Structure 1
Amino acid sequence: MVHAFIIHTLLPGSSLVLHSSTFRQDPLTSYEIKESGSRWHCVRQAQWQYVADVVHGEYQFRRTVSGRSLDEDLARATNIDNGLGLPELECGVLRLSEHAPYADEKVIVWYGAGTLAFSLVCDKTENRLIAEVILKHIVRYLQEYLLVFSQPSEILNKADCIIQILQQLIPDGLLLFRCQRVMRQLEKELDSSMKQVD
């Protein structure tokens, strides 16, 4: 089960959450939701920011260890064929301990390149390989339809397109294994639905 999908920045300094989608409520916050909608929103924002900060820290550490400069990282991210392909993506899996910030232990599967990171917050028992494959498909479609690496402002301008992609690939937060034939059919459906959104 996927609990959240988050797009955030990887620039030096603090990470900025650009987009977030939640698929399931955390059991500890369901009472708070009844008590106050604004309290619930603050809890969610704190969770998303925590995830963004953890991934951001890991990415910055890897950049430092590899000896890459920010300029080299940006050059790698923008070195894309015709602006439509994917840059060389850094991938990682991180564990969130219990109560930090979710009630149960969670796993973050993330991809990052240049200035952007894409993270899935999953149950600790979720199949991480399937999560990585689906997240890579999500990133590929975001680049194909929104050109997120060359035009990051589209993340803020076209949230409905992002939600459409997520609904197709992780319906209700479920990570489903799909064979290539099913993925091709899904691509056709996604292509037609994205034309309607535009």
Structure 2
Amino acid sequence: MELVELETQISRLAELGLPLAPDRNIDDLLYSLPRDLFERRPYELLLSILGAEVEREPWGRWFCDRAWNFDTECVHGPGAYVRIARELCRITGRPDAFTDVEDHVDLATGGAWIAYTVNGRRRRWTAEVHDDWADGLVVTYLLDDLEQDGHRFWTRDNGQIVNLYFLDTCAAEGINSLLPNGSPLAPVLS
């Protein structure tokens, strides 16, 4: 495979809708991984890290505002589904798309739910409890309530960690043209 300079990868993904967040830079990326790894695995490794938090201070900064590495083994108690909903709203660019968000998670009794208001409609979904795994069906309900204006959630298969991106079809197809066979973006919902 041909090496691709990291700056070129960053520029091309930005053109396709996945720019580095404001005040993030190559030094932040290189703090996590060496340049040669990014350049030997063009686009693939960069796409994987875009949904992560910068691994140095100040903490709580995402590499890209349109990506999230969703660790599906994250339901440890109350607030877990609220956090999932907030992160999904964040990557759509509409942090307040869901209002009045609340959840209940009781791992001991196996009871869980999330409730929120979206577009003036109140929603409440009961979640199945499987240890600390997020209920995939409930997550798809959240995704469905957020997709709009030709933008949808796209993912790459990465096991327990689900790399999510919020893009239109044209951008996703452009990104797929940059990736090696076997690891394309796919729509989460069909």
TM-score band by shorter chain is under 0.3
TM-score by length of 2: 0.26
**So what's the TM-score if we normalise by structure 1?**
0.25
Q: By percentage of residues, which structure has more helix?
A: 1
Report 1 or 2 for greater relative contact order, CA contacts < 8 Å, sequence distance ≥ 6. 1
More strand per residue: 2
